[in-house]
């Protein structure tokens, strides 16, 4: 809101520009550079043109990892958004319950990624983990190390446990900003609980929901730490997401060229999808 | 439409009210006649919104009974009471068109679509928004949105009453005039029972046939605008209604004369005034500034366009007078109190003047 | 002296302020009058330095301050919302701008007490703002603005969120504040009545333009154009388009208004005639007054006055009559227009004549 035109402002922004140049633009250019060359070590590089890109786009391994990413993002959005809305709707709006709920909700968000991974890795083990042991004791054959389905369930439950709170907090912020008069008017109009949600709460939450979806999408699409810690991408390749594959390729196999091409494609996909979300959001804003 | 009886209603927001001051509404006993236009007028915290919310069912009173056409509705929910309410800030369903906004209460009640169409068209005509039916409601101006809020009440043929909670707060002055006259026309044509809560005397007086003045959780006076203006029962009414409010000065009474310092003021009758705390009230409109009467010192003249407000001191007391726009304050200003405009108060309550 | 020179503010496709030039002097009260979204707040933000103009420049005491941010200007602002520090007492709230300025304790104390006395806050100095009434909260904000000793004080509809009667009371206190020597006060309001009560100078705003600027009563009585006259009328200005033919303004269907002396020279053609609601009367007050038959639509009675809404031809008028005048809807009444009170606007809306009876 407060825009003040001032020459000095540019000097103040300059350090940030320099920082961004070093932290983003220059590495990105390095990656671009790698992606069009081949190397066998010894700092010897050969021009490879678009070879790596063609290879990448033709490889099953890439598309499978991509498919897993898409599926993962879709599933966690499909669970976390409705669940987050549901929890937000049922949180108390006043009284002592408010701070208690808010703190409980904020807790998972405060735990670092790798710790979350470790917690679940232990929690889900069927020999010493409380969850794994209990589930098996109940007669279910659960083993995330061997069964791909179990591995997926574990990774998804972990993400839902870790990140639904974010959706809840954002939705809650949207909900508490709705004036009482709206609920009173809805009562007077004889609106059902569903109508109140559909025509009052959802429209008022729309903006924060878009932000929540955008954040959760980008984050889940870039998922790395948790599956890396818990399943290491396995069993087989069942939880090998793009990021894990990328690291395997770049550090494990030291295929710098293909890895660079892959990270560029990966980067472009996230950029493209974020742009789509951004456009939707700003269009929505302009309409208001 | 319905007659609304408020039977000895008291309300406290506290769980266990002990003393009188714990009650937001001390005791209200009043009948809103079927088809009447009422205003609840008072400063913030006087209990007017509490009373409105009790009528609409958003609040359940601590004590007392509420009757619609003789039927006890105290325990009924807002939906079951069948009332309409317009709030201070426009409440519209953002994502719906104007048409769908108006259709909403009917569809919620399972009214057949053909009937919905007929009623909505009719209502759109009433509130003058027919041309806007297909627009998204959120694109409209504040006054149009307020009309939609009203329309959602009008569209139901069975509403018992339409309640207004300071509906013109966010409306620009010019549009206030338009909306007010449209409201009045609607009331006249269709005979709705309307209760209008406001702190703005102009809105209350221009809207209502009966103005209920509230102060500190109690009704101080109920009357027509003219009654409230000419015969305020309590000095608070005199102060709260009128702009500037009524002049109130301490006097002593001797028969048909009131004494203010060294001045004698002729009264229309002989009030039976007992006690020490006797006051004379006179509205600025009945104080005439000229070259005859009691000498005053003029401190300020405010030209407000259509008239002038003269601020002066009379026997050490601040008084205000209204003067027409073309008149001038004379060199040696004096004031005369028009006897018909004089009221006498004992302990702030008006007392009758015997002939 | 604060000068706006051809200032414009464009945000995206919207023009918030269009080519405004204003000169405000020290020790003056200046009212910005206009409806919601007419640009009052945008203009104040430009004056304060919260926004920079898209084009044009802002000068203060002969110095170009166009790019200077608000922190570097000596400005105080009071808003419609009651903005105070909720965790500080009223005393601390009022003292806060002085503490920032690093003034010694004894002087802070005397300044705070002086301001509190002026705004009747002395009994509440130890209270927290949120435990006070709206009127007292706004008094606290006003006190903070005046102790700051700013050279420019901007008040953006400061009374809008208060009860009618509290507004009246606080409005009576305002002149005491405005008496502070040397400060430029700018006061935004949507209400013509408030502008008249405050006095000083008024700038009328419409769609981002200042349509007129001058002494308040003069702008009210002698508007330069139709937009200004409409902005500065409450109840709304009555208007009608009439055709001037020789010595008369005519309308088929019963208006025949003699052209006021001094206007005989203007060309024949269509003119918009405007007159204030209190200049429409039920009695023939002036010898030259002409009768018009109109139909009553609604009557509003305030006790001392009656507002009669009238339909005439295709226009709606409001008549303000003294006392109680009860009419049934659709009654035909004869009302009088005095040519001495009319304003005449040409095709482009420019005023060619304003009332000669202006006191």
Do C165 and B207 make contact, defined as CB atoms within 8 angstroms?
no
One domain for residues C114 and C211: yes
Q: How confident is the model at residue B196 (pLDDT cuts 50, 70, 90)?
A: very high
Q: Where is the domain boundary, B234, B269, B300?
A: B234
Q: What is the CATH number of the domain that holds B59?
A: 3.40.50.300
One domain for residues B248 and B229: no
**Shortest CA distance from B322: residue in chain C:** C304
Q: Decide if A288 touches C, using CB distance below 8 A.
A: no
Cα separation of the two ends of chain B: 43
Residue C319 covered by a domain: yes
**Shortest CA distance from C52: residue in chain A:** A4
Specify the pairing of strand B263-266 against strand B270-271: unpaired
pTM of the model: 0.82
Q: What is the CATH number of the domain that holds C319?
A: 2.40.50.140
Q: What is the CATH number of the domain that holds B335?
A: 2.40.50.140
Q: Where is the domain boundary, C186, C201, C231?
A: C231
Residue C351 covered by a domain: no
Residue C276 covered by a domain: yes
One domain for residues B210 and B299: no
Q: What is the pLDDT of residue A5?
A: 52
Residue C357 covered by a domain: no
Percent of chain C clearing pLDDT 70 (strictly above):
98
- Contact list in C for residue A7 (CB cut-off 8 A) is 67
Query: CA of B211 to nearest chain C CA: how many angstroms apart?
Result: 11
Q: What is the pLDDT of residue C358?
A: 44
Q: How confident is the model at residue B330 (pLDDT cuts 50, 70, 90)?
A: very high
One domain for residues B98 and B120: yes
One domain for residues C252 and C271: yes
A100-127 average pLDDT score = 79
CA pair distance A55, B279, nearest whole angstrom: 100
Query: CA of B82 to nearest chain A CA: how many angstroms apart?
Result: 7
Query: CA of C52 to nearest chain A CA: how many angstroms apart?
Result: 6
C147-155 average pLDDT score = 90
Q: What is the pLDDT of residue B170?
A: 85
Q: How confident is the model at residue C314 (pLDDT cuts 50, 70, 90)?
A: confident
One domain for residues C181 and C59: yes
Q: Is the pLDDT of residue A2 over 60?
A: no
Task: Give the angle subtended at the CA of B113 by the CAs of B112 and B114, to the nearest 5°.
Answer: 95
Residue A49 burial (CB count, 10 A): 10
- Which two structure tokens, joined as six digits, stand for B256? 């048909």
One domain for residues C27 and C8: yes
- Top residue of B40, B43, B45, B173 to mutate, by most chain C CBs within 10 Å, is B173
Q: For chain C, what percentages of helix, strand and coil (3-state, to nearest 5) are there?
A: 25, 35, 35
One domain for residues C224 and C247: no
One domain for residues B163 and B309: no
One domain for residues C267 and C118: no
One domain for residues B208 and B260: no
CA pair distance C127, C123, nearest whole angstrom: 9
One domain for residues B196 and B113: yes
CA pair distance B348, B276, nearest whole angstrom: 11
Query: CA of B102 to nearest chain A CA: how many angstroms apart?
Result: 10
Do C67 and A2 make contact, defined as CB atoms within 8 angstroms?
no
- Top residue of B15, B50, B55, B94 to mutate, by most chain A CBs within 10 Å, is B94
One domain for residues C266 and C287: yes
Residue C356 covered by a domain: no
One domain for residues C182 and C314: no
CA pair distance B221, B244, nearest whole angstrom: 19
Do B229 and C165 make contact, defined as CB atoms within 8 angstroms?
no
CA pair distance A6, A2, nearest whole angstrom: 12
List all residues 6 or more positions away from C283 whose beta carbon is below 8 Å from its beta carbon.
C336
- Top residue of B304, B307, B322 to mutate, by most chain C CBs within 10 Å, is B304
Q: Which residue has the tokens 């769609």?
A: C207
Query: CA of B52 to nearest chain C CA: how many angstroms apart?
Result: 18
Query: Mind listing the pLDDT tens digit for each residue in C279-292?
Result: 898 888 877 788 88
Q: What is the pLDDT of residue A65?
A: 81
Do C67 and A6 make contact, defined as CB atoms within 8 angstroms?
yes
Residue B275 burial (CB count, 10 A): 8
Q: How many residues does chain B have?
A: 355
Query: CA of B107 to nearest chain A CA: how many angstroms apart?
Result: 9
Structural domains counted in chain C: 2
One domain for residues B102 and B129: yes
Q: Is the pLDDT of residue A3 over 60?
A: no
Counting one residue from chain A and one from chain C, the pairs whose CB atoms sit within 8 A come to 16
Q: Where is the domain boundary, B234, B251, B273?
A: B234
Tell me the domains of chain A and their CATH numbers. 60-287 (1.10.3720.10)
B83-105 average pLDDT score = 91
Sheet holding B334-337, edge to edge: B287-290, B334-337, B294-295
Q: How confident is the model at residue A1 (pLDDT cuts 50, 70, 90)?
A: very low
DSSP C259: P
- Contact list in A for residue B85 (CB cut-off 8 A) is 184-185, 188
Q: Is the pLDDT of residue A267 over 90?
A: no
One domain for residues B227 and B105: yes
Query: Mind listing the pLDDT tens digit for each residue in C2-56?
Result: 999 999 999 888 899 999 999 999 999 999 999 988 999 999 999 999 999 999 9
Q: Where is the domain boundary, C180, C205, C231?
A: C231
Q: What is the CATH number of the domain that holds C92?
A: 3.40.50.300
Tell me the residue range of the domain where B137 lies.
4-234
Q: Is the pLDDT of residue A7 over 70?
A: no
Element of type H or E holding C260: none
**Shortest CA distance from A6: residue in chain C:** C67
Residue A102 burial (CB count, 10 A): 16
DSSP C18: E
Residue C355 covered by a domain: no
List all residues 6 or more positions away from B75 whose beta carbon is below 8 Å from its beta carbon.
B60
Q: Decide if C207 touches B, using CB distance below 8 A.
A: no
Q: Could you tell me which residue, B4 or A232, shows the higher pLDDT?
A: B4
Least CB–CB distance from C301: residue in B174, B225, B283: B225
One domain for residues B43 and B149: yes
One domain for residues B229 and B253: no
Do A188 and B85 make contact, defined as CB atoms within 8 angstroms?
yes
One domain for residues B180 and B327: no
Summary mean pLDDT of chain B:
90
Do B85 and A200 make contact, defined as CB atoms within 8 angstroms?
no
Residue C100 covered by a domain: yes
CA pair distance C255, C337, nearest whole angstrom: 10
Do B149 and A182 make contact, defined as CB atoms within 8 angstroms?
no
DSSP A21: I
Ramachandran bin of B255, using left for φ above 0, alpha for ψ from -120 to 50, beta for the remaining angles: left
Q: Decide if A5 touches C, using CB distance below 8 A.
A: yes
Residue C354 covered by a domain: no
Do B105 and A288 make contact, defined as CB atoms within 8 angstroms?
no
> Where are any strands of DSSP class E within B45-90?
63-68, 71-72, 83-86
What Å distances lie between residue A170 and A177, A213, B6, B235, CA to CA?
11, 10, 44, 52
CA pair distance C52, B195, nearest whole angstrom: 47
Q: How confident is the model at residue A285 (pLDDT cuts 50, 70, 90)?
A: low
Q: Decide if C348 touches B, using CB distance below 8 A.
A: no
- Which two structure tokens, joined as six digits, stand for B191? 């005979």
Q: How confident is the model at residue C359 (pLDDT cuts 50, 70, 90)?
A: very low
One domain for residues C284 and C261: yes
B188-192 average pLDDT score = 87
- Contact list in C for residue B205 (CB cut-off 8 A) is 300-303
Residue C6 burial (CB count, 10 A): 12
Using an 8 Å CB-CB cutoff, list residues of chain C that contact chain A: 49-52, 67, 69-70
Q: Decide if A253 touches B, using CB distance below 8 A.
A: no
CA pair distance B93, C52, nearest whole angstrom: 36
Summary mean pLDDT of chain A:
79
Do B79 and A190 make contact, defined as CB atoms within 8 angstroms?
yes
Q: Where is the domain boundary, C231, C255, C290?
A: C231
One domain for residues C20 and C77: yes
One domain for residues B213 and B256: no
B178 exposure class (CB count in 10 Å sphere: 0-12, 13-18, 19+): middle
Q: Is the pLDDT of residue A283 over 80?
A: no
> Is the separation of the CB atoms in A155 and A231 below 8 Å?
yes
Query: Mind listing the pLDDT tens digit for each residue in C117-128?
Result: 888 899 999 999
- Which two structure tokens, joined as six digits, stand for C188? 């935004």
Residue C69: HSE in the Cβ half-sphere, 13 Å Cα cutoff: 9
- Contact list in C for residue B304 (CB cut-off 8 A) is 193, 196-197
One domain for residues C216 and C259: no
- Contact list in A for residue C9 (CB cut-off 8 A) is none
Q: How confident is the model at residue A231 (pLDDT cuts 50, 70, 90)?
A: confident
CA pair distance B317, B312, nearest whole angstrom: 8
Structural domains counted in chain B: 2
Q: Decide if B94 touches A, using CB distance below 8 A.
A: yes
Q: Where is the domain boundary, B201, B234, B267?
A: B234
Percent of chain A clearing pLDDT 90 (strictly above):
9
- Which chains does chain A touch, 3 or more C-beta pairs < 8 A? B, C
Q: Decide if B355 touches C, using CB distance below 8 A.
A: no
Summary mean pLDDT of chain C:
88
Compute CA C285 distance to the chain's CA centroid, rounded to the nearest angstrom: 30
Tell me the residue range of the domain where C250 lies.
235-345
3-state SS assignment for residue B260: strand
Residue C359 burial (CB count, 10 A): 12
List all residues 6 or more positions away from C302 whose beta carbon is below 8 Å from its beta carbon.
B201, B202, B205, B206, B225, B229
- Contact list in C for residue A6 (CB cut-off 8 A) is 67, 69
């Amino acid at each position: 809101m407060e825009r003040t035109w001032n020459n000095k402002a540019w000097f103040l922004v300059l350090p940030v520009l320099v920082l961004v140049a070093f932290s983003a633009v220059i590495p990105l250019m390095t990656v671009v550079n790698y992606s069009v060359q081949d190397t066998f070590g010894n700092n010897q590089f050969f021009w490879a043109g678009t070879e790596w890109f063609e290879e990448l786009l033709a490889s099953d391994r890439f598309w499978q990892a991509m498919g897993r990413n898409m599926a993962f993002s879709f599933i966690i959005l499909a669970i976390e958004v409705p669940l987050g809305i549901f929890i937000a709707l049922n949180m108390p709006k006043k009284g002592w319950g408010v701070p208690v709920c808010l703190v409980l909700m904020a807790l998972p968000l405060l735990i670092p990624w790798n710790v979350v991974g470790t917690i679940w890795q232990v929690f889900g083990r069927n020999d010493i983990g409380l969850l794994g042991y209990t589930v098996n004791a109940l007669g279910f054959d659960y083993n995330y190390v061997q069964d791909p389905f179990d591995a997926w369930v574990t990774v998804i439950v972990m993400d839902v446990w870790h990140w639904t709170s974010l959706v809840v907090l954002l939705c809650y912020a949207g909900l508490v900003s709705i004036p009482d008069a709206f609920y009173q008017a809805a009562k007077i109009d004889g609106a059902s609980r569903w109508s109140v949600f559909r025509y009052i709460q959802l429209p008022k939450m729309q903006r924060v929901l878009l932000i929540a979806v955008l954040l959760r999408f980008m984050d889940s699409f870039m998922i790395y730490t948790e599956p890396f810690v818990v399943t290491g991408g396995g069993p087989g390749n069942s939880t090998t997401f793009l990021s894990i594959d990328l690291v395997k390729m770049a550090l494990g196999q030291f295929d710098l060229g293909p890895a660079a091409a892959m990270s560029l494609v990966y980067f472009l996909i996230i950029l493209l999808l974020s742009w789509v979300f951004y456009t939707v959001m700003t269009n929505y804003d302009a309409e208001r | 439409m319905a007659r609304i009886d408020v039977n000895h209603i008291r309300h406290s927001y506290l769980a266990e009210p002990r003393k009188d001051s714990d009650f937001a509404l001390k005791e209200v006993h009043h009948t809103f006649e079927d088809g009447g236009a009422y205003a609840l007028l008072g400063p913030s915290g006087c209990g007017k919104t509490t009373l409105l919310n009790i009528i609409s069912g958003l609040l359940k009173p601590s004590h007392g009974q509420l009757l619609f056409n003789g039927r006890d509705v105290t325990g009924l929910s807002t939906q079951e009471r069948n009332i309409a309410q317009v709030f201070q800030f426009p409440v519209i369903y953002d994502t719906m068109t104007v048409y769908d906004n108006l259709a909403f209460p009917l569809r919620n009640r399972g009214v057949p679509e053909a009937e919905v169409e007929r009623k909505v068209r009719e209502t759109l005509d009433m509130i003058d928004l027919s041309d806007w039916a297909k627009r998204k409601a959120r694109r409209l101006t504040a006054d149009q949105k307020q009309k939609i809020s009203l329309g959602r009440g009008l569209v139901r043929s069975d509403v018992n009453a339409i309640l207004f909670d300071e509906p013109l707060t966010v409306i620009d002055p010019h549009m206030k005039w338009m909306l007010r006259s449209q409201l009045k026309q609607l009331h006249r044509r269709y005979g709705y029972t309307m209760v209008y809560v406001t702190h703005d005397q102009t809105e209350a007086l221009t809207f209502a046939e009966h103005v209920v003045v509230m102060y500190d959780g109690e009704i101080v006076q109920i009357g027509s605008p003219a009654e409230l203006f000419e015969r305020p029962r309590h000095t608070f009414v005199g102060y709260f209604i009128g702009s500037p409010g009524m002049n109130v000065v301490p006097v002593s009474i001797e028969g048909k004369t009131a004494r203010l310092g060294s001045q004698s003021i002729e009264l229309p009758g002989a009030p039976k005034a007992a006690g020490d705390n006797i006051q004379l009230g006179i509205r600025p409109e009945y104080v005439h500034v000229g070259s005859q009467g009691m000498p005053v010192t003029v401190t300020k003249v405010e030209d407000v366009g259509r008239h002038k407000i003269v601020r002066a001191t009379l026997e050490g007391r601040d008084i205000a007078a209204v003067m027409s726009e073309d008149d001038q304050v004379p060199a040696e200003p004096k004031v005369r109190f028009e006897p018909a405009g004089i009221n006498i108060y004992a302990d702030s309550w008006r007392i009758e003047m015997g002939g | 002296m604060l000068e706006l020179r051809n200032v414009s503010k464009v945000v995206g496709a919207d023009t918030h302020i269009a080519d405004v030039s204003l000169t405000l002097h020290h020790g003056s009260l200046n009212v910005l009058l206009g409806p919601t979204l007419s640009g009052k707040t945008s203009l104040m933000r430009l004056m304060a330095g919260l926004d920079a103009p898209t084009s044009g420049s802002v000068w203060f005491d002969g110095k170009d301050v166009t790019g200077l941010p608000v922190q570097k200007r000596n400005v105080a602002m009071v808003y419609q919302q009651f903005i105070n520090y909720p965790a500080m007492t009223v005393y601390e709230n009022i003292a806060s701008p002085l503490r920032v300025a690093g003034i010694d304790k004894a002087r802070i104390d005397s300044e705070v007490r002086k301001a509190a006395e002026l705004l009747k806050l002395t009994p509440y100095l130890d209270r927290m703002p949120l435990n006070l009434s709206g009127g007292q909260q706004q008094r606290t904000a006003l006190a903070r603005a005046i102790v700051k000793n700013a050279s420019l004080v901007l008040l953006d509809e400061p009374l809008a969120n208060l009860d009618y009667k509290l507004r009246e009371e606080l409005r009576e206190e305002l002149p005491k504040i405005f008496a502070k020597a040397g400060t430029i006060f700018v006061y935004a309001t949507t209400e013509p009545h408030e502008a008249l009560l405050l006095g000083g100078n008024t700038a009328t705003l419409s769609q981002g333009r200042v349509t007129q600027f001058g002494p308040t009563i003069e702008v009210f009585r002698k508007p330069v154009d139709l937009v200004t006259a409409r902005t500065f009328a409450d109840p709304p200005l009555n208007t009608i388009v009439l055709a001037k033919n020789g010595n008369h303004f005519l309308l088929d269907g019963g208006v025949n208004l003699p052209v006021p002396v001094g206007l005989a020279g203007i060309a024949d053609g269509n003119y918009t005639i405007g007159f204030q609601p209190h200049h429409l009367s039920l009695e023939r007050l002036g010898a030259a007054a002409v009768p018009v038959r109109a139909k009553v639509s609604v009557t509003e009675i305030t006790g001392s006055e009656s507002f009669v809404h009238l339909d005439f031809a295709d226009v709606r008028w409001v008549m303000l009559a003294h006392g109680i005048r009860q009419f049934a809807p659709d009654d035909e009444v004869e009302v009088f227009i005095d040519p001495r009170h009319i304003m005449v606007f040409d095709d482009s809306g420019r005023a060619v004549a304003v009332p000669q009876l202006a006191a």
